[in-house]
Structure 1
Amino acid sequence: MNSLNRLPPFPLLLTLLAVTHANASDAPDLSLTLDPLVVSGSRQASDSFSLPFSIDSVDRQQISDGQLGINASEALNRVPGLVVQNRQNYAQDLQISSRGFGARSAFGVRGLKLISDGIPASTADGQGQAATFNLDTAERIEVLRGPASTLYGSNAGGVVQVFSRDPEGPPKVDAETIFGSDGLNKNHLSAEGANEKAGFLLDASRMDTDGYRDHSAARRDQTFAKLNLKPDADSKLAFIYSSLEQNGTQDPLGQTWEAYKQDPRSVTANAEIYNTRKSIDHQQVGANYERYFGDSTLQATAYTGKRSVIQYLSIPKGSPANNNNGGGVVAFDRRFYGGSLRWLQPVGDVDLVFGLDYDQSEDDRQGYQNFVGDELGVKGALRRDEKDTATSLDPYAQATWKIGDWTLQGGLRYSTVEIDVDDHYLVNGDDSGNRRYEQASPAVSLGYAFTPELNGYVSVGRGFETPTQGELAYAPNNVAGVNYNLDPSTSTQYEVGVKALLGNATRVNAALFQINTDDEIVVFANSNGRTSYQNAGRTQRRGFELGVQSQLSEQWTANLAYTYLAAQYDSSFVSGTRAVDSGNNLPGVPRTTVFTELNWQPADGVSTAIEGLYRSKVYVEDSNTAKPAPAYSVFNWRARFEQQYGAWTVHQLVRLDNLLDRQYVGSVIVGDGNNRYYEAAPGRSWYAGAGVSYQFE
């Protein structure tokens, strides 16, 4: 109750408005979709309201209305249970955590399974990159949390799936430009069209920014292409290509508390001395095939791609880590490929799903000193050379049985993840080796429809989370070689929830959950951009999630996402040189998160909204002795206008973020060994844009 009392007044007022107006007698035609179709969890199109687990869908309007289309945080903050933090650092990608899973990630996304159009955006070891998501083409984003997500492999925290829109209608071309604070400029071009047999979608964008903080400039180029084919009445085929390119993206690193307070735009001197930066070249192609055999369905996916990365760290010139143990420059060329087969078979009242997922990535990895003589921030002598291979093979089976008002869904997945290291740099010994992780992950959910407007459910699942190649890459205490002693964590998850329709204009989702984890993977040390990990003891996560969507009137809609999460260590251990006591809070996890939105559409083609975001304080390391990142509340305003002139459609957008110009820490670097835990968020920022599209006859 104390946490509820500390909530800012705006979210509570918005919740009250939603409930008060939910049962209006003359309800309008809804612009909100209160019961969207989703495929996550059940793996076939189902009404989200009837599914016995936590699943949310963010639709195309919510993704694009008044948004910049640059970071997934724009759309995913509205999902309960998720914490999505824009780090203002395009060298390290977003931080995304679900019910506390993934909060420790030093870069990219781990602990959650990322999927785009059926193709994994997470590699076989569980490391994912949300930057590869193309928001300009997204039709919807589904977010699955809780026990049901354990059926997706060794990413126990949840599943985030992006589905691109299918092209339709006569050919159309679009162009858009957006500009704003800190030198941001995004230019976007697209074309699409379809008939009964085929359709195409082409999309390309370039984003440039000077960055809010010093030494944080970035350029990001994205392309996307989709070709839909319908060979016959019983099948469909889609080819999908996407790419992401970032050259010389500057990395401002973290800040100490004193440096942040003195100047939130500041960077540590080492970031500029060593010119910390990262370049990424990512390309992938895939195909989805679906064929109907009467009531049965065969689904097949195949994909392949490559990713090249070179990153310049700030590891000091004379340190052992630079001279002997891998160097201060990380470089790898990755080839990845895989596929899946799935058979959907109804048998009476039971829907059966049988599937097999296979994924492999091969990294040709090198490490170099980040100096040559007295010249710093350049590629120097070779200090690491190896080939790392991660392979996963996961068969699974699921069944959904609907009988009367009851829905029973259960499944079992057997995951095998194998990591192989072939060391070619033998000066410091042969670090070649192999680790194999395997576990069966069962999950079962039981739902009951008390009334057509009220569903309840219970769910339980057993999952596990393997170390990623990045987490295995460095042994603790600056010891050369791979951290083969790092074990997977295992979790048992419980969830109880209700889904309610209040009148015909409001939907409420609520869930209580508890997650018990053994051998939690935690940060051992994080220094100068390099992180090593260890296994801790037990952790426990207990929480409550509430989501409310309401059509208040014909012009007004409201959204609320509330999360309370107590994530704590359930046993004591030693992290590096610090003692961590049982009862300490997991770092990187706010106890309370609230997102609110009030949207007004006074006329066709006009939309404006106020967004509110509150996060409680966040601990930054396991001992909880360092200064936590303080709680904050921010408010944003956005507006979008659209006009139609025959075949031409014109739109404009205006956006103001952080209206009250608050100074706050937007994200943290968990366990940083230099006490540079904090990453400042921008003050008041403005953005404006305009676009035009032409529809051919």
Structure 2
Amino acid sequence: MSRIHLLAGAAAPCLLLAIPAAAQVRSSDSGQSQRADTADRDATDIVVTASPTVAEATRQIERTPGAVEVVPDTAFKNTPVQTIKDILQYVPGVIVQPRMGDDVRLSIRGSGLSRAYGVRGITLTIDGIPMNTSDGLIDFFEVDPSAYAYVEVFKGANALRYGSNALGGAINLVTPVGRDASPLDARLDVGSFGYVKGQASTGGMSGDLDYFATVSAQSIDGYRDHSNGRQFRGNLNLGYRISPDVETRFYVYATDTKQRIPGEVSKDQALGDPRSANPEWVRQDQQRNVRSIRVANKTTARLGDAIVEAGIFYNNRHVRHPIYQWLDFTVDDYGAFVRAVDDRSLGSVRNRLIFGANLQNGTIDTEQFVNLTGAVKGALAASMVDKSRNLSAYAEDSLFVAPNLALIGGLQYLHARRDRRDRFLSDGDQSGAKSYDRWSPRAGILWDLTTDAQVFGNMSRSAEVPTYDANSFATPASGNLRAQRATTYEIGTRGKRGGVGWDVSLYHSEIRDELQCLTTGSFSACSVINVDRTVHQGVEAGLNADLPLSALANGDSLAVTAAYTYSDFFFDDDRRYGDNELPGIPKHYLRAEALYRHPSGIYAGPNVEWAPGHYFADNANSLSVDPYALLGLKLGYDRGGRWSAYVEGRNLTDKHYISTVAIAGVASATSEIFNPGIGRAVFGGLRYRW
């Protein structure tokens, strides 16, 4: 562990920046802590609902002995909400790097660092229902960032409840319900590079029935050439309270997106001519077009001292994806889940037991053609059916050895199977199958110092099974990839004092067989390998403060929000790369904002995104990415009434910078692995609620 001392070294500037820091404070509109006194709370305090409110979700998530967060819609509604970055940009430990349109690369604690497409290493759910394909990949084109009431973030093994088997953890998108929704909520957003988005929703109640529905349509020309796209999305949420102790809820989600892809370019082109596209990608008219529909049911019931949640789901996606070849595939996923929380007293001691299971199976039916000029299908080049089976079971017990001190132990079992049947045999039979069985234990401590401050720590293991683009069975190596395993140690604290809150975590992950997706050429899929030993360690610190400025005028305030992430990722005595740094993201990353708020509802202030220092684009550490700082400015009006409006400027200095890197083993100055960041942009929006 040649560089473990760097973790302590990084903590000093981090704590100076953000020791009063808590993203959790943002999860309450009132600004007051939602944490319940553990000595007074029992199972009857838990609301029996399939869709908790922001306050209820915050109270529940803060029983986790690790880094978690709830982000309410008040933190992102008055933004262009084009990508999931608009939601997660102030969550420490989460790095979101835009690529084009709605697509981003998202990494938590270094998960999926090497991915040039899709996202791996994170479980994404909507209302607790899986959005990943059954083999593990995520497609952010299906995410509508403006449609959610709040978003939950579980980092690392803290995502036990969702059966997450990956280093990054889980993100749960939660749609509104009719009990809390406005009869009409409509908005229109416009901005640079042809961005136009309209959205409307409605919701209400009739006796024990409630409903919520939203639709949105979006169009964008794109900052870069050949990056135009359009999206249409809709969500429907119907709930019925069968009795005071039982609620059932039905969900329907639909998406139709079309997006052109400008492609990675050389570093010189990305910085010197950032609006240009890769000419070969333009010739092939590379695109990603997705139509999907998801349906689900979730029922929640109180059974004695226990709250039980159970559900079923079905997801269908048709993807038309002309890239280096013309991919045409259909995804059919289905599954079920059950979770129980039993919170009771055992004599004089309180005990909270959580246990559950998740089943997700699916089929990917793929045909792959030669991609001729202009996205024209040529001859059939591949055809296969991929089947995935995933079963996870977990249990976690919290024993309160004192009213404010809980000792926590947990265990998760994962069984996963990947089975490919090759139907295109002219180049040989590339069928294959492999099964994975992993046990992941967990132990932690949660200490409520006061009703508004906690200290926590945990030690956990996690496992991540290769996706089908890695387990291709085309070669012996691709059919024998091992599951990625990690042991993580974490300590932290969160809380609030006065108008200032904090959220600080330090973690150290020792990883075996890390899955890397190395770019080997400009016009082919990446090559996935196992890296023997790596270390991911870092500091995550958040700040949220609401400071009165009564000396200036009665009711004025200054709202300060900041998220600092320190990422120290490196090879551990690797045979080829020694102790080199792992490429892909900045070592230091800061997102901060200061907003002056007037009692009239007017607010204004600057924000900054800062990645100081170089980071590398390849394992060999031979090509680096330059540091950058982006300046933004917001101006808006929102008194919580019917009308609100905003204007926001981003990258006002028009800085040329690199947004994402498709990492390589060894890169050169001509390697086409870079995506330029978006230049100066201005957005504006108007919202009406009735």
Aligned to 2:338: 341
Confirm or deny: 8 A CA contact 1:561 1:596 kept in the other structure.
Answer: yes
Q: Shift of residue 605 of structure 1?
A: 3.3
Q: Within 5 A, what are the aligned runs for 1:381-420?
A: 381-404=379-402, 405-420=404-419
> Aligned partners of 1:50, 1:299: CA distance in 2, in Å?
18
Deviations 1:76-107 (A, max 9, x none): 010111101111244xx211101111221222
Deviates more, 1:48-57 or 1:542-551: 48-57
- 1:46: which partner in 2? 59
CA distance in structure 2 between the aligned counterparts of 1:414 and 1:241, rounded to whole angstroms: 30
Q: Alpha-carbon deviation of 1:262?
A: 2.5
Deviation for aligned residue 1:521: 1.0
- Offset at 1:399? 1.0
| Code of the aligned partner of 1:344 | V
Once the two structures are TM-superposed, the CA of residue 165 in structure 1 deviates from its matched residue by 1.6
Aligned partner of 1:514: which letter? H
Q: Which one of the candidate residues 638, 647, 653 is aligned to 1:654?
A: 647
Partner of 2:184: 173
Could you tell me which residue of structure 2 aligns to residue 576 of structure 1? none
CA distance in 2, matches of 1:131, 1:538: 33
CA distance in 1, matches of 2:503, 2:687: 36
The answer to whether structure 1 residue 677 and structure 2 residue 679 are counterparts is: no
SS of aligned partner of 1:530:
coil
Q: Deviation digits for residues 226-252 of structure 1, max 9, x if unmatched? A: 1111112111111111112113x1110
1:172 and 1:150 map into 2 onto residues whose CA distance is: 36
Name 1:603's counterpart in structure 2: 599
Q: Could you tell me how far 1:39 is from its partner in structure 2?
A: 8.9
Residue number among 231, 254, 273 corresponding to 1:243 in the alignment: 254
Instruction: Please give the TM-score of this superposition, normalised by the length of structure 1.
Output: 0.87
The 1:600–1:505 alpha-carbon spacing in structure 2 relative to 1, beyond 3 Å, is: same
Q: Does 1:469 align with 2:468?
A: yes
State which of 121, 126, 150 in structure 1 corresponds to 2:136.
Answer: 126
Q: 1:45 to 1:269 in 2, by over 3 A?
A: closer
Q: Is the 8 Å Cα contact of residues 34 and 507 (structure 1) preserved in structure 2?
A: no
Tell me how far apart the structure 1 counterparts of residues 537 and 180 of structure 2 sit (CA, whole Å).
48
**1:538 corresponds to:** 533
* Residue 436 of structure 1, CA deviation: 0.5
Q: Conserved in 2, the CA contact under 8 Å of 1:116 and 1:163?
A: yes
Match of 1:329 in 2: 326
Whether the aligned pair in 2 keeps the contact of 1:473 and 1:482 (CA below 8 Å) is: no
TM superposition shift of 1:412: 0.8
SS at match of 1:155: coil
Q: C-alpha separation between the residues in 2 aligned to 1:501 and 1:302?
A: 38
2:92: which partner in 1?
80
Cα 1:250–1:68 change in 2 (3 A) is same
Distance 1:12 1:87, change over 3 A: farther
* Equivalent residues of 2:177, 2:203 under 8 A apart: no
- Do the aligned partners of residues 169 and 46 (structure 1) sit closer, same or farther apart at CA in structure 2, a change above 3 Å counting? closer
* Cα deviation, residue 311, structure 1: 1.3
Identical positions, percent: 23
CA distance in 2, matches of 1:394, 1:289: 20
Change (3 A) 1:423 1:80: same
What is the deviation of 1:689?
Answer: 2.1
Change (3 A) 1:310 1:189: same
Q: Equivalent residue of 2:356, what SS?
A: strand
| 3-state secondary structure, aligned to 2:90 | coil
Pairwise mapping of residues 151-166 of structure 1 onto structure 2 (< 5 A)? 152-166=163-177
Q: How does 1:217-296 map to 2 (within 5 A)?
A: 217-247=228-258, 249-296=259-306
Letter in 2 for 1:281: R
Corresponding letter in the other structure for 1:86 = P
Give CA deviations for 1:609-644 in whole Å, capped at 9, x if unaligned: 422211243321211112x22111112222332478
* SS of residue in 2 equivalent to 1:484: coil
1:438 paired with 2:437, answer: yes
Supply the AA of the counterpart residue of 1:159. A
1:524 is displaced (CA, Å) by: 3.9
Aligned-residue offset at 1:299: 0.6
Q: Distance in 2 between matches of 1:693 and 1:44?
A: 24
Task: Indicate if the aligned counterparts of 2:385 and 2:420 stay in contact, CA closer than 8 A.
Answer: yes
Q: SS of the counterpart of 2:671?
A: coil
The DSSP-based 3-state class of the residue aligned with 2:625 is coil
Work out the CA distance in 2 between the residues paired with 1:544 and 1:427: 52
* Contact 2:473 2:479 survives alignment (8 Å): no
Q: Which residue of 2 aligns with 1:423?
A: 422
Whole-angstrom distance in 1 between the partners of 2:186 and 2:221: 23
Structure 2 residue ranges without an equivalent (≥5): 22-27, 37-50, 549-554
Does 283-292 or 681-690 show the bigger shift?
Answer: 681-690
Structure 1 residue identity aligned to 2:388: A
Aligned to 1:24: none
Q: Could you say which residue in structure 2 is the equivalent of 1:379?
A: 377
Q: Kindly state the Cα deviation for residue 651 of structure 1 after the two structures are TM-superposed.
A: 2.5
Q: Deviations over 1:208-264 (max 9, x none)?
A: 1111011100111111111111112111111111112113x1110011012123211
Distance 1:461 1:534 in 2: 24
Spell out, residue by residue over 1:496-519, the C-alpha distance to the aligned partner (whole angstroms, 9 max, x if none): 1122433x2211122211000011
Residue 313 (structure 1) aligned to one of 323, 336, 340: 323
CA distance in structure 2 between the partners assigned to 1:362 and 1:50 by the alignment? 36
Is the alpha carbon distance of 1:49 and 1:118 closer, same or farther for their aligned partners in structure 2, counting shifts above 3 Å?
Answer: closer
Partners of 1:556 and 1:600 within 8 A in 2: yes
Provide the secondary structure at the position in 2 that maps to 1:46: helix
Q: CA deviation at 1:306?
A: 0.5
Paired residues of 1:36 and 1:48 also in contact (CA < 8 A): no
Is the contact between residue 572 and residue 582 of structure 1 (CA under 8 Å) also seen in structure 2?
A: yes
Which amino acid is 1:149 matched to? A
Q: Does 1:638 align with 2:634?
A: yes
Match of 1:667 among 650, 660, 672: 660
The answer as to whether partners of 1:369 and 1:383 remain within 8 angstroms in 2 is yes
Contact 1:63 1:140 (8 Å CA) reproduced:
no
Partner of 1:206: 217
Q: 2:558 aligns with which of 530, 546, 556?
A: 556
Structure 1 residue matching 2:376: 3-state secondary structure: coil
Asked whether 1:509 is paired with 2:503, we answer: yes
Give the Å deviation of 1:603. 2.0
Residue aligning to 2:39: none
Q: Which amino acid aligns with 1:362?
A: T
Distance 1:642 1:458 in 2: 39
Q: Secondary structure at the match of 2:75?
A: helix
Per-residue displacement from partner, 1:485-542 (whole Å, max 9, x unpaired)? 211111100011122433x221112221100001111124442141121111100112
TM-score, length basis structure 2: 0.88
Task: After TM superposition, give the deviation of residue 54 of structure 1 in Å.
Answer: 0.8
Task: Give deviations 1:162-184, integer Å, cap 9, x for gaps.
Answer: 11122236961233221110111
Partner SS, residue 136 of structure 1: helix
Q: In 1, Cα distance between the equivalents of 2:678 and 2:672?
A: 18
Query: Any idea what the Cα deviations from partners look like across 1:360-389, whole Å, max 9, x if unmatched?
Result: 120111111112xxx553111111111101
Provide the residue aligned with 2:76 in structure 1: 63
**Partners of 1:274 and 1:442 in 2: CA distance:** 48
Which consecutive unaligned segments of at least 5 residues does structure 1 have?
20-28, 315-327, 574-579
Distance 1:219 1:166, change over 3 A: same
What amino acid is aligned across from residue 661 of structure 1 in structure 2?
Answer: D
Q: Are 1:608 and 1:637, in contact at CA under 8 Å, matched by a contact in 2?
A: yes
Compared with structure 1, are the counterparts of its residues 130 and 34 closer, same or farther at alpha carbon in structure 2 (3 Å cutoff)? farther
Deviation at 1:547, TM superposition (A): 1.4
Q: CA RMSD in A?
A: 2.9
For residues 615 and 313 of structure 2, the distance between their equivalents in structure 1, rounded to whole angstroms, comes to 38
- Aligned partner of residue 268 in structure 2, secondary structure: helix
- Match of 2:441, as an amino acid? P
Alpha-carbon contact 1:150-1:464 (below 8 Å) kept: no
For residues 213 and 5 of structure 1, do their structure 2 counterparts lie closer, same or farther at Cα, with a shift above 3 Å needed?
farther
* Pair 1:169–1:365, CA change in 2 (3 A): closer
User: Matches of 1:684 and 1:206 in 2, distance apart?
Assistant: 24
